[in-house]
Amino acid sequence: MGFLIYKFRRRHLSIYEVIECFLRSNNELAPIRYSYSDIKKMTRGFREKLGEGGYGHVYKGKLRSGNDVAVKMLKKTGGNAQDFMNEIATIGRIHHINVVKLVGYCAHGSKRALVFDFMSNGSLDKYLFNQEKMDSLDWDRKFDIAVGVARGIEYLHRGCDIQILHFDIKPHNMLLDDNFIPKVSDFGLAKYFSKEKNSVTLTAARGTIGYVAPELINRGIGTISYKADVYSFGMMLMDIVGLKRDLAGNNDSSSKYFPYWIYDHINQGKDYTEIGCVDENDAAREVGRKMTIVALWCIQMNPNDRPSMNEVLKMLEGDVERLLIPEFPSQSTQIVGNVDQTGTTCSSDYVSFPHLDDSFPSVEIITVQE
């Protein structure tokens, strides 16, 4: 028993040593290192909880300067040490209006925390999946949010000294400030590479079911690159327009690969206002139509058929009349699987299906049953 306790303690000490070594060797970090005592003071003993997830809990805090912050306390598990270092290594050295700012962090034994600027309007999913809050966002604001997120992702891909692939783009990870300016957040699954690399190698799938790119599940579809983030952004655009809610309510189409369901509706003569619930004025319908077309390009099955985020921005900011609907994907590339009631994929094929709630966390390894 004593030997087992010794091994357990050594294993955990080695995790802490890895983190400490990383923090000591990384001289490019701008965020402040706080003690655990500092964290308790700024959160007033973790009094006000803002939310929780598979990573841990988020609390509201206040710095001595008076600025409000959000403090993410990570769970006491060894598995999130890499996620912790990922977040610090990525957002700890970059600054962009559409990327959340990391104010500081805490690494004290098993206590690990990340301190961010406080976003008063919370995360985007709170608006997209709540009808009352959804109604509070007009189409101009939805469009501005979509463009802001696209700029943030494009900066990660090409605006930094390194190429940062997020691998978990979804509404839950888009935070909104006082003016509803979106900030890309949660870099726990992110990886960074040389900007010259056009493809990357991963040992495991990364992302959240419903947003993860198909090539991350089935490597036969194509190489893994920044196009995986483009796919996830396209699925999020579908959320913003409201398309996935329609599919969720259509029981006959629940197992159909999502883009084919949209093409079926278009082929039936339905326009974008019927597909995306855009029932307002002409300007609103134009915005809905533009985001729908861009989303269709982003979620192409073949990564080579998807635009870059720079091209996505050009399409979003350009004239909708100049946008072409991508061709219906070849039947030979159609991948159909069966989705069970829990929302997990039950075949070796890939299915992109409607929004799932917070009970389905981000994953690093997705097991697909044969």
**Residues labelled as active-site residues:** 168
Helix (H/G/I), strand (E/B), else coil: 35: coil
DSSP H stretches of helix in 79-205: 81-91, 125-128, 131-135, 139-154
Token match 């939805």: residue? Answer: 142
> How remote is the C-alpha of 317 from its chain's centroid?
22
- Whole-number Å distance between alpha carbons of 175 and 160: 21
Please answer whether residues 61 and 70 qualify as being in contact, where contact means their C-beta atoms are separated by less than 8 angstroms.
yes
- Whole-number Å distance between alpha carbons of 119 and 352: 30
Helix (H/G/I), strand (E/B), else coil: 207: strand
341 closest CA partner among 324, 325, 360: 360
Helix (H/G/I), strand (E/B), else coil: 178: coil
